């Protein structure tokens, strides 16, 4: 009974993690689209803010798309991304999910 509950909880945690990643990626795509529209309408710095937000959302899911968003941000603001944080703020540690090896080990048990 206990091993079955462990397997069920592992499957549920995998599904929840997948949904969270999908939701973050969808929201990031919405920010990209809004950034393009804002830049076309002449709102450069609003577009830069949206590229920044999209990059933050893409970072744990698709790092290559996050880099592309950062390149757009750098192009608009004309600064390196290392200066994207607030002045005097402590560096933010981003959550990077580990591989699902633990979860697959739990499922195999």
Q: Where are the domains of the chain?
A: 24-81
Q: What is the pLDDT of residues 34-73, one digit of tens each?
A: 999 999 999 999 999 999 999 999 998 889 999 999 999 9
pTM score, whole prediction: 0.66
pLDDT at position 31 is 95
Specify the DSSP class assigned to residue 10. H
Please count the CA atoms within 13 angstroms of the CA of 45 that sit on its side-chain side.
1
Q: How far apart are CA 28 and CA 56, in angstroms?
A: 8
pLDDT at position 22 is 82
Which of the four pLDDT bands, split at 50, 70 and 90, describes residue 102?
Answer: low
Highest-confidence segment of 5-9, 45-49, 59-63, 83-87 = 45-49
pLDDT (mean) for 20-30: 86
DSSP H helical ranges for the chain: 2-40, 44-58, 63-77, 101-108
């Amino acid at each position: 009974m206990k091993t079955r509950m462990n397997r069920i909880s592992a499957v549920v945690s995998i599904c929840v993690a997948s949904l969270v990643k999908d939701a973050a990626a969808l929201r990031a795509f919405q920010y990209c689209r809004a950034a393009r529209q804002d830049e076309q309408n002449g709102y450069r710095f609003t577009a830069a803010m949206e590229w920044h937000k999209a990059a933050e959302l893409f970072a744990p899911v698709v790092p290559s798309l996050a880099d592309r968003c950062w390149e757009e941000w750098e192009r608009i603001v004309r600064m390196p991304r290392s200066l994207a944080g607030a002045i005097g703020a402590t560096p933010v540690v981003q959550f990077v999910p580990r591989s699902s090896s633990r979860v697959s080990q739990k499922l195999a048990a």
